[in-house]
Structures are given as structure tokens and as C-alpha cells.
Amino acid sequence: MENFDFHVTTDIRFGKDRLAELPEVLNQFGKKVLIVYGGGSIKKIGLYDKVMEQLKANGNEVFELAGVEPNPRVETVRRGADICRKEKVDVVLAVGGGSTIDCAKVVAAATKFDGDAWDLVLQRRKYTGGALPLVTILTLAATGSEMNSGAVISNLDTHQKLGTGSKAMLPKVSFLDPQNTFSVNKYQTAAGSADIMSHLIENYFKQTEGTDVQDSVSEGLMRSVIKNCPIALKYPEDYDARANLMWASTLALNGLTGNGKPGAWSCHPMEHELSAFYDITHGVGLAILTPRWMEYALNDETVDKFASFAWNVWGVEERVPMMAARMGIQKLYDYFKACGIPMTLPEVGIEEEKFDEMAKQAVAHSTIKTDAFVPLDEAAVKAIYTACLTESSFD
């Protein structure tokens, strides 16, 4: 295990009916509020009205940034930052899932940035400037953005989807009420759960040795997702299932499972290109890629880690490591498919014509060629994309 800092100061307000605490939270930062949300689902479930009622009663001056895309676009960030500067907004309030929160994070930072919002994104994790305070109300268990300092923004003009972030973008307070996820449909529930699993898998499969604590936490969180996603799919208003998915999402990416384990993630850089070129659902792209990446990465040197994944996450009883490893990969693939996720690229409208370009950008926009669990060059990335064209079997 390597040296690390762990200082995550987000105030988590978890549980039922906590919105009465919102005015007290916002009053720490000021009265002018920019509320950021997506396509209108928060209005359908009545959450928008509840939030606005609290803000009105508190005497807040409210401005709105609506229509945040599932893969938030830099144009929307620019629009939000313009509002904040013009109206001298004090605090940003994101109401939605990870895309909304990611957009709000970069809006908060871009407001303080002397330059274009995309130039800020291009600084990646090197941005050291300030940001407006951010408060979030989560409506989807997926990205963990409610308790981390990262964000992912898309630029469709340049076909780029890039991660950025800084300490200043960490939410000050996040409200996590599982009831707000009751209306999430089966497809998005499954995609969100795949996103959580991918975050855990990316941190789990690192070259760093001696990380028993991080790996054991990851295994436990993966088992929780595996158990509770099917329950939430069958019983959308099962509070405990939704609560466990929501908390697993938060813990999967707040540093708990990744600190002390440096190195590049493998599947996210590849999926970011799928989303950048085709604007697909992020969690679905990750579900399609991950088992094929595992098959590519499995070899005599990596088999022990994959066998541990099979034994400790899936309960595989086979004791021959290579056989167990393949069974674990098959179980992951079958699980995603059973949750209703399309498991080939053609099912989401992607064929092979842009594989070369996407592979080139996946390598160029990350360090997977040198720092991944198994280094991936352009040929490797293209091979993994190609494996995703058809149904797969790993036994």
C-alpha cells in the first residue's frame, strides 16, 4: 500500500425526508442560489416543487440551469457559469444524478475561472483555482459524484469526454434520500448499478500489493450491489435496496477503495470514447466493456487477482485459479445481462467504423498504456472494442 491523503469533508445528510434542513445548509453560503437539474424528472416526482417551496420560504433568490444532458456538455457549463457571474450567485444547488452534479461542479469552478470552461476541463486534475460552494440532492445511485471532487464533461465538437476536478469542486453538503430514487426506471437502475460496480472493479484491479483493507471493502460493496440491484428492479420502492445502492455508490468513489492504490483505470478511458462519439449511457458502456477487458487482461500473471474476484465476490467454489477466474468473469457478464443491460455494442448503435479513432483517443487521453493493471495500447483497445461486437462466453 502506498502513501495517501484522505480528507473528504462533504457533510452527508442520509435518510428520509431531510429537506427541511436545506435552508439552514444554504444559509451558510448566501441567499442567491443557482439550481441545476436535468430533463425534468425531478418535476415529475414532485421533488422540484418541494425544493422550491423550501427556497421560497427561506427567502432565497433562485436562478435555474435546466436541461443538463446525461453526458453533460461544456455548452451547458458555460451557460451556467454565465448566469452565476451575471447574477452574482452565492451557492450552486444540484438536484439530480451524477451528470447534473458533475455539470454543477464545473459550473461552480468555471464561475471563478478566468477563461473558457473547456480550458478549465483541459487542466484535468491540475486545476487549483476556486469554486462556488456546491450543495447536492441526489436522485440516482451511480457515479458517487455527491462525495468526490471529480467531474466528467463532454465536448461533442471535438469528440472528447474528459475527467476533471479539484478540491474546490467537492460538494459541501449532500442530501441522500433513497426515496428520491424510487421512480428511477429499470434501465437506469441497472446502468447505475453497473457504474458502481465498475468504479469498484477499476480500483480493485490495480498493481499495488498489500491493500487488503481497500480490496475487502470493495468486495463487500460489490456483493451489496449484486444483491440489491435485482431487488430494486423487481420492487422499485424497496427502501433498503435503494438505500444500499445509494450508499454503495457514494462509498465506491469517495477515496475509500482507491486511496493507496495508484495507477490508471482501464475501462473508463475506453468508455469515455464510446460516449464522446455516440452519446450512450455511461453505465451501459462500462457493462459491455468490463467483461471483455477482463478476458483480455486475464493471464498467468494476473490470474490470482481474478480468482480472488471470483471467490470473494461471486462465491465461486472452483479452486483452480484460472478456471475460477473465467467463471467469475462469466458471472459478471451474466449478471449484467440478467439486469436487462444490452451487452453488445451494436445493440446501442455502435459498429466498428470508428474503432481506430476511438482507440487512439482512449490512449491519448489517459495513461492506460503505461499505468493500467495490464497496459493497453491502441491495438489492445481496438481488440477489446471488437470483442464487444458479439455475444461472449468466458468459460
Q: What is the pLDDT of residue 152?
A: 94
pLDDT at residue 40 is higher than 90: no
Per-residue pLDDT band at 374 (split at 50, 70, 90) = very high
Distances (CA, A) of 310 to 304, 317, 328: 10, 9, 4
**Could you give the domains of the chain?**
11-181 (3.40.50.1970), 186-387 (1.20.1090.10)
Interhelix angle 378-387/355-364, rounded to 10 degrees, is 130
| DSSP secondary structure string for all residues of 139-167 | --SSS-GGGSSEEEEEETTTTEEEEEE-G
Beta strands in the chain (DSSP E): 11-14, 32-36, 61-65, 91-96, 134-138, 150-155, 160-165, 173-176
Q: What is the pLDDT of residue 126?
A: 82
Q: What is the pLDDT of residue 327?
A: 98
Beta strands in 97-147 (DSSP E): 134-138
Q: What is the mean pLDDT of residues 174-183?
A: 97
Give the least confident one: 125-134, 215-224, 310-319. 125-134
Q: What is the pLDDT of residue 146?
A: 98
- The model's pLDDT over 99-111, given as tens digits with 9 standing for 90+, comes to 999 999 999 999 9
Q: What is the pTM of this model?
A: 0.95
CA–CA separation, 131 vs 306, rounded Å? 41
End-to-end CA distance of the chain: 32
Per-residue pLDDT band at 369 (split at 50, 70, 90) = very high
Q: What is the pLDDT of residue 192?
A: 97
- The model's pLDDT over 209-218, given as tens digits with 9 standing for 90+, comes to 999 999 999 9
